[in-house]
Amino acid sequence: MSETGISDADRFLALLKPIERDLETYCRRLIWEPQEAPDALQNAVMRAFAAFNRYHEGASFRAWMFKILTHEAFALNRKHARIARHEFQLEPEELARLPYMGEPERDSSQPLSPETLNGVLEPALAAGLKTLTDTERAVLLLRAIGDLRYREIGESLAIPLGSVMGNLSRARQKMRAYITRAERRTQLLKENGI
């Protein structure tokens, strides 16, 4: 209990609440088995609360929490020993030669709505994430969802700054290629009245 009478649990939850949605989105994108995301989140939060006495005011609670969640997700991914479908590095032009995957079947008589366009993008993102290595995916998501600085990403993953920039660049190139192909295909379908 602090001097102001607020319990550690209350202080912890006050810091946790604003980032809960981001933590859950990050976890669901990072973990291989979607059904294990709740377990990863729960374990990460409990570990963070158990170590809350080591967190000092002024430090980034967001970065600290994302770091703990990353380690928890990595542990679960390692448990399943999943390897990215394309663990070797793919260049964007090689990606273009791959058959497109993940586009859902749709009723061709209906025009594409904005919601449907977003729905087309989501499978492309999911498919693209699966082609990234664990480190590339974590770096990309920590930047895009966690909004962490490069230095914070490096501390979370225990990799140097140069590796952060290299992994981020490769991940973005692969993901942008997937998005561009998905949107181009959607545009072609729309133009042809499909």
Partner 1 sequence: MRCDEVQSLHDPYLDSELDARTALEIERHLKACPECARLFAEEQELEARLKAGLNHGTRTAELWEQIEGEVIHPKPEILPQGRTKQAQSTKAQMTKTPLSGGVFRALSHLVFGFVSGLGFRISDLDATRSRFRSDAPAWAGLAAVWVVILALDLTARGPETRVMREREVPSASEMRFAWKQKQLLMADLAFLFEPAPADKPAPPAPQSNRHTDNLNT
Residues in contact with partner 1 by CB under 8 A are: 9, 12-13, 16, 20-22, 24-25, 28-29, 38, 41-43, 45-46, 49-50, 118, 121-122, 125, 140-141, 143-145, 149-150, 165, 168-169, 172, 175-176, 179-180
Is the Cβ–Cβ distance between 85 and 130 less than 8 Å?
yes
In degrees, to the nearest 5, what angle opens at C-alpha 61 toward C-alphas 163 and 74? 50
Minimum distance, C-beta of residue 153 to partner 1, in the bound complex (Å)? 10
Cβ 144 to partner 1 shortest distance, Å: 5
CB of 173 to partner 1, least distance (A): 10
Quick one: 67 or 143, whose CB is closer to partner 1?
143
Q: How far apart are the first and last CA of the chain?
A: 63
CA 48 – CA 44 distance, rounded (Å) = 6
Tell me the closest approach of the beta carbon of residue 169 to partner 1, in angstroms.
6
CA distance 36 to 8: 28
Q: Closer to partner 1 at the Cβ: 84 or 108?
A: 84
Q: Which is nearer to partner 1, 20 or 87 (CB)?
A: 20
DSSP 89: P
Closest CA to 178 of 108, 112, 86: 86
For partner 1, the closer CB: 86 or 180: 180
